[in-house]
Amino acid sequence: MLHHSKVVGLPVSRIDGPLKVTGTAHYATEHAAPGMLYGYVVPATIATGRILAVHTHEAESFPGVVKVYTHENRPKAAFRDAKWKDEVALPGHPFRPLENDRVLFDGQPVAFVVAESFEAARDAAALIRVDYAPGEAKTDICAERHNAYVPPVPRMPQFMPPKPRGDAETAFGLAPHSVSNDYVIKGEHHNPMELFGTTVILGRDGDLTIHEKTQGSQNSQAYVCGVFGLDPERVVVRNRFVGGAFGQGLRPKHNLFLAVMASLDLNRSMKVEMSRREMFYLTWRPSCVQTVSLAADGEGHLQAVLHHAVHATSRHEDYQENVANWSGLAYACDNVKIEYEIAKLDMATPGDMRAPGAASGLTALEAAMDELAYAVGIDPLELRIRNFVHRDQNQDKDITSKALHACYREGAERFGWASRSPEPGSMREGNELIGWGMAGGIWEAQMSQAEARVRLFADGRVTVSAAASDIGTGTYTILGQLAAEAFDIPVERVTVAIGASDLPKTGVEGGSWTAATSGTAVQNAAKAVIKTLLDHAKNMENSPLADASEEQVEISEGRLVLETNHQAGVAISDIMASAGLPFIAETGKAAPDKAIMAKFSAYTHSAVFVEVRVDVELGVVSVTRVVSAVAAGRILNPKTARSQILGGVVMGIGMALHEEGMIDHRSGRIMNHNIAEYHIPAHADIHDIEVLFVEEDDDKPSPIGVKGLGEIGIVGVAAAVSNAIFHATGKRIRHFPITLDKILESEINP
């Protein structure tokens, strides 16, 4: 049995923190090798059409330029679909850089310059001219929603809507209270701090060491080996440090392909880093249009839920995410109809962005619930409480645990919700209208498959190794805490090695499953080490543990002891000396328990309370207070956990008020491809954010009781801000982001 000293659950500072704040944590493009070359991408300046000619002569003559690649001279690569699949592959035709003369989206790479220096590559790229035959770009989701279709091949079965239950249309028509509206959410762009980049270091024997910005080193390795026909034993991908990703790093990007392509072709080490502008041409949270219709009886009990969602995908792939299904499980209702479609746009394939699907779908549902509360005439929080549901009605399963009532209660108490004046525009201070809004949040509590290796040395030191990634979430720290607790040692005595494809196998870091999955693998590996240690202890002469089982022992103060009698035990150093071992190493595995999950559904939950202040004359909105109450099972580290929710809340505020990829629909081009004009929350936009973790004990989603935190922090935030704006102004704005022009379109003083 593992000894549970107080290590897990403590607010331990990040063990990788000192490296990051001192600048000694090397990211993907901060590695070097002798004779390294540098690449620079030339992006397309049309959104759809054909390349007629690429004029490269001036660039090829530029001092320092080694080679210029286009679709006409790219080296031969494996261009069959099967070779281009990755762990997050989608139905359709994956994008292949420099494949042919067709342009699929604004910013698509149309040429790639390689030079002896970054500056030479950049300056030469500016000399390349491209002749196009542009096509008619279609990039407006509102215009293309009528051409939407049900995906013929599901990306994942659970993304498809459940069968309708009851008769939602009839119930909607008969109910005394109803609301039905469209909600539009503009596309968002991830913009993590670290730019996407790749450094390929070519070894003397032809082996490749690739430093890559990715959320899955083994996924990138499999991609590279598949595309170029390389031996996996001779390719290592490392992503020891990742400067944010938010889902954008789940799939390999063209920087990886181009860097490896050029390195193999020129037999040189290679570095490619995207510009901030290029980051906007990658994956993005898809723009979407949703129609949500809700009906209730006189007491506010839901009689009908109808949710129809359409979001964007690209011409070449069917990107899909779970947008609408949440409306069938969030609240109790016997009459539910959910419809889900996608619409092709002339843009890059969208991708998972923090709480993909839920962040968009629950924004619409939770805004509609607020509208229904006003239609019925009851408090928005009370409406949610009256429609509380204990089962997953979509799948007709029990839920492993649901501490959402505690989120409602503790969040409302901390926020002061009881003193809210219900009438819109009734709370005012000076020249500012004050609004209070709230919303609920849901995200799946999932596990993936993973392995981890734990090594215990005779002096009590421990190493943990796994291919898992840390994109700023705290993976290094929580894995170290779990190992420290298992062996009753300080975290400082644990060395954590992650972020490399040659370490024990894990999936991509996403879906809020890394802590549950890799954490369980570490715990299982620690148990295996202790079992092996016990086996050796039993072989010792006059061993006090000769008759003990592994459930009866634990490690305490450097000794393997009986749990009920710490006097009976043997020093770890003596056990290993007796066995002639410098260390004991074991591998642990983790995977979802199929038997449990066949019977249950598992989710994290939250309740978000928001205060806004709106200037009566200027219409400026400030989010002055947020309380986010979260039920996410066992909290391994309150400090890193709080940071996850803080980051999610800030992104939710961005979704509500700031973030918007502005497309010129005449040309299909992105106009604000920089973070000066693509607005994100700045320090001045963020005020008080309080995070509460409610008690929740649940070992069904994962053996270590973890449910995940990366996504739940953003879910519901945009809706809560929107609802608060309505409470302040009496204006219901259903088009996100809620920018100043929308506030000022009509008189805001109710």
Measured between alpha carbons, how far is 452 from 514 in angstroms, rounded to an integer? 12
Residue 392 has, within 13 A of its CA and on its CB side, a CA count of 23
Measured between alpha carbons, how far is 581 from 533 in angstroms, rounded to an integer? 10
- 547's CB contacts (< 8 A; 6+ apart) are none
Catalytic annotation, pick one of 72, 136, 711, 747: 711
The answer for 703, left when phi > 0, alpha when psi is -120 to 50, beta otherwise, is alpha
Buried b (16+ CB within 10 A) or exposed e, 204-231: eeeebbbbbbbbbbbbbbbbbbbbbebe
Q: In the annotation, is 711 catalytic?
A: yes
Calculate the CA dihedral of residues 660, 665, 671, 673 and round it to 10 degrees: 60
Q: Which of 318, 312, 349, 325 is nearest to 152 (CA)?
A: 318
Cα–chain-centroid distance for residue 163? 28
Q: How many CB atoms lie within 10 A of CB 99?
A: 13
Contact assessment for residue 438 and residue 380, using Cβ atoms and an 8 Å cutoff: yes
Instruction: Please identify which residue in the block is written with the tokens 């690649």.
Output: 69
Segments of 408-530 assigned E as strands:
428-429, 432-444, 450-457, 462-465, 494-497
Q: Which of 402, 334, 315, 330 is nearest to 363 (CA)?
A: 330
Q: How does DSSP assign 281-330, residue by residue?
A: TS-EEPPEEEEEEEEE-TT--EEEEEEEEEEEE-SSB------SGGGGTS
Q: How does DSSP assign 149-184, residue by residue?
A: B--SS-SSGGGSPPPPBS-HHHHHHH-SEEEEEEEE
3-state helix, strand, coil in the chain (%, to 5): 30, 25, 45
Is residue 225 classed as helix, strand or coil in its secondary structure? helix
565-571 sheet: strands from edge to edge: 553-556, 559-562, 565-571
Measured between alpha carbons, how far is 7 from 491 in angstroms, rounded to an integer? 8
Calculate the CA dihedral of residues 258, 240, 277, 148 and round it to 10 degrees: 80
Task: Kindly state the helix (H) or strand (E) to which residue 60 belongs, with its residue range.
Answer: helix 57-60
The DSSP output letter for 92 is: B
Q: Which of 296, 332, 328, 334 is nearest to 309 (CA)?
A: 328
Q: Tell me whether strands 37-43 and 270-273 are parallel, antiparallel or unpaired.
A: parallel
Residues with a known catalytic role: 711
